Amino acid sequence: MSEERFNAWVSVHLGVLHRIARAFATGVDRQDLLQELLLALWRAAPTFRGESAETTFIYRVAHNRALTWRRGENQRRKRQSDYERLHVEEAAIEDPLLNQLYEAIRQLPPLDRSLLLLSLEDQSYAEIAAIHGLSENNVGVRLTRARVKLAQIMEKQDGL
């Protein structure tokens, strides 16, 4: 794969990669994950055979890497001391409502989080199914349940 083609992919999909990183990580970890997503895309790019849309390929690589990163991050955080975890809070300098939404999204299980993000990116059920290797029907059912969970989390946050 040429560097020009990769740069074209990144320029078109950088916003998507930022949103995936934001949904899976907070604070300085967000930039680390974004770099991981870009590296994973660079490494996977030569395997793109054109059997699916470029967008589908990019989403699949990025979401799979984010899910894998999250598992590793959970293991790393278990080894961290409680004191360090309490002080890793990031300053809320952005829109408070948007921060609240992303905080709620981060509380969803990783697969639900990924499906919901793809849905928010206006990906069709067929595209989401192709990215995650699920049936379209299963995507619909999981998305419905994820939206209900998200609404419940947001209601609890409002009640605080």
Q: What is the CATH number of the domain that holds 151?
A: 1.20.140.160
The count of structural domains within the chain is 1
The mean pLDDT value for 60-89 works out to 70
Encode pLDDT of 91-136 as tens digits. Answer: 445 578 888 888 999 999 999 999 999 998 989 999 999 999 999 9
pLDDT for position 5: 83
Residue 134: give the domain boundaries: 3-159
Tell me phi and psi for residue 45, to 5 degrees. Answer: -55, -40
Q: Categorize the per-residue pLDDT at 4 as very low, low, confident or very high, splitting at 50, 70 and 90.
A: confident
What one-character-per-residue DSSP string does 32-56 give? HHHHHHHHHHHHHGGG--SSS-HHH
pLDDT tens digits, 133-154: 999 999 999 999 999 999 999 9
User: 0.75 cut: is pTM over it?
Assistant: no
